[in-house]
Amino acid sequence: MTDLVLKNIGKTYPNGYQAIPSIDLVIEEGEFIVLVGPSGCGKSTLLRMVAGLETITQGDLLIKGNRVNDKEPADRDIAMVFQNYALYPHMTVRANMEYGLKNRGVPKEERQAKVTDVANMLGLDELLDRRPGQLSGGQRQRVAMGRAMVRDPKVFLFDEPLSNLDAKLRVQMRVEIRQLQRKLATTTLYVTHDQVEAMTLADRLVVLNKGKAEQIGTPMELYDKPATTFVAEFIGSPSMNLFDAMMTEEGIVLSDKTRLPMSHAHRGSVIWGIRPEHLQQSDEANADFSLQVQAVESLGAETLIHGLLEDGSGQPKPMVIRLAGPHLPEIGSYMWLIAPAKHWHLFDAVTQQRL
């Protein structure tokens, strides 16, 4: 059953700035949707429209089939976790978690049972009588989630909930959020600008660019078949290598020296891409092209090699490759590389759309 439907949703701020032109999205019950995109692309705006904190200036928002555009946030049956947690500083953890239930007139016994339950689940039992000021960042984050969970809402909304935590805690909480969401099976809309977070959490991802949805799909769809160059560059780390090229009868022409045989109906300017992890080392005879090594980053389990694609055009192009295990090529030396055809990505140079 569909849980949350965004129909032609748009937002123009009172100052005339159009943050979101139009977005369509259908979310199934229990789905974990991540909104991802660079800073200022309108992620928060979209989330806050769903929450009811920002007026919707265009389109319809349906929760469980009911149009809720004009409903107060409290009447939409949603719960939200904020980036800075927004815990009430003068209330204990218990009071913070109870407050929403209290305002809804839930009887005391029931409230306490709920709080105890959720506190149990999140490991907050010991902290119930403390104030937010007496908690660590990670604990506050948990309380913020607990406050959302006790309400048992139809939709969870998260706005970059992990960005105030240190790297280690972030990974830990990420796993925990995913497990909790699976267990509760509550529809979730989650905003982040961290693509690793996005890839690991999402059932489906929405990549936003300047208020437009570039692509909506599962993490693997986005990785394997990015719909635009924007998505191709945004998803995956390090980013996909993209090169201007020409499509001719003989195949893809990167430069006078470098040609990659391929048959495709398209003709003219294209953008050719390949992910760093899909390039392979080879010997000179089989190589598609060579790379002059500029810098080496050894990460232990893998090695990133930054180099210049020498194609004789006099304009060397930067390229990154990612190899498993340790490698120590000399700076300035040449490496011979193969780009397997099944990993190529082709985009129209004008529309930037996938071909």
Ligand X SMILES: Nc1ncnc2c1ncn2[C@@H]1O[C@H](COP(=O)(O)OP(=O)(O)OP(=O)(O)O)[C@@H](O)[C@H]1O
Q: Which residues are at the interface with ligand X (CB under 6 A)?
A: 13, 15, 17, 19, 39-45, 193
Q: How far is the CB of 25 from Mg ion (least distance, A)?
A: 18
Q: Residue 215, SS3?
A: strand
Binding pattern for the stretch 155-184 against Mg ion, x by CB under 5 A and - elsewhere? ------------------------------
Beta-bridge partners for 260: 252
Partner whose footprint covers residue 79, from another protein, ligand X, Mg ion, none (CB < 5 to 8 Å by kind):
another protein
Q: How many residues bind Mg ion (CB under 5 A)?
A: 1
Alpha-carbon distance of 294 to 332, in angstroms, equals 6
Alpha-carbon distance of 68 to 233, in angstroms, equals 36
Is residue 84 close enough to count as binding another protein by CB under 8 A? yes
Q: How far is the CB of 116 from another protein (least distance, A)?
A: 19
Beta-bridge partners for 194: none
Give the number of residues written for the chain: 355
Q: Is 299 exposed, middle or buried (0-12, 13-18, 19+ CB in 10 A)?
A: exposed
DSSP for residue 218: -
Q: How far is the CB of 142 from ligand X (least distance, A)?
A: 22
Beta strands at 155-159 and 187-192: parallel, antiparallel or unpaired: parallel
Q: Could you tell me where the beta strands, DSSP code E, fall in 45-182?
A: 58-63, 66-67, 78-81, 155-159
How many CA atoms within 13 Å lie on the side-chain side of 117? Answer: 13
Give the interface segment with Mg ion, choosing from 39-47, 196-204, 213-221, 295-303 (CB under 5 A).
Answer: 39-47
Q: Which of 6, 23, 78, 206 binds another protein (CB under 8 A)?
A: 78
Q: How far is the CB of 90 from another protein (least distance, A)?
A: 4
Give the interface segment with Mg ion, choosing from 41-49, 140-148, 180-188, 297-305 (CB under 5 A).
Answer: 41-49
Give the interface segment with Mg ion, choosing from 38-46, 246-254, 297-305, 326-334 (CB under 5 A).
Answer: 38-46
Beta-bridge partners for 2: 28
Residue closest to 139 by CA, chosen among 169, 110, 118: 169
Q: How far is the CB of 172 from ligand X (least distance, A)?
A: 22
Contacts to another protein by CB under 8 A? 48, 51-53, 72-74, 78-80, 82-84, 86-91, 99-100, 103-104, 147
